[in-house]
Amino acid sequence: MLTIADGRKSFYQWDIGQGLTVTPGEGETITEVHIGLNGCKKYFVVEPVDGIVAVYDELLQKGDTFLVAYEYVKTADDVHTINKYVFKITGRPKATDYAYTPTESHSWEWWCNKAKSYAEAAAE
């Protein structure tokens, strides 16, 4: 199961330092989570660290959309999706103290392409 690490039910646009808590079901070992935005065809592959999967700040720079996450299990013989989760990203005005990062200026198409390049590199 995936839940927002701080216990909320949804994310807010411009949040930083967010994560998802990974709680495997009985007999499950979640080896990675694929995270992206609704409508993006490529996802970032993130491995849990101490039961938490980081949600990249850049994914929360767009509001009024949904963050989509898939739990994956990898074994020596199999790789498959366990569950799909959808978390709302509620739009809000950008905070005046929000720290600008160079990645903020990239388009969502650029992020989809970056996720694709990571996926291709991992497949090699």
Structure tokens at 3: 């839940």
pTM, two decimal places: 0.76
The 10s digit of each residue's pLDDT in 37-95 is 998 888 999 999 999 999 998 899 899 999 999 998 877 778 789 899 999 999 999 88
Give the tens place of pLDDT for each residue, 36-47: 999 888 899 999
Show Cβ contacts of residue 43 under 8 Å, excluding neighbours closer than 6 positions. Answer: 34, 35, 36, 68, 70, 115, 119
Domain ranges of the chain: 2-112
Neighbour count for residue 32 (Cβ, 10 Å): 19
Domain 2-112 in CATH 2.60.40.10? The answer is: yes
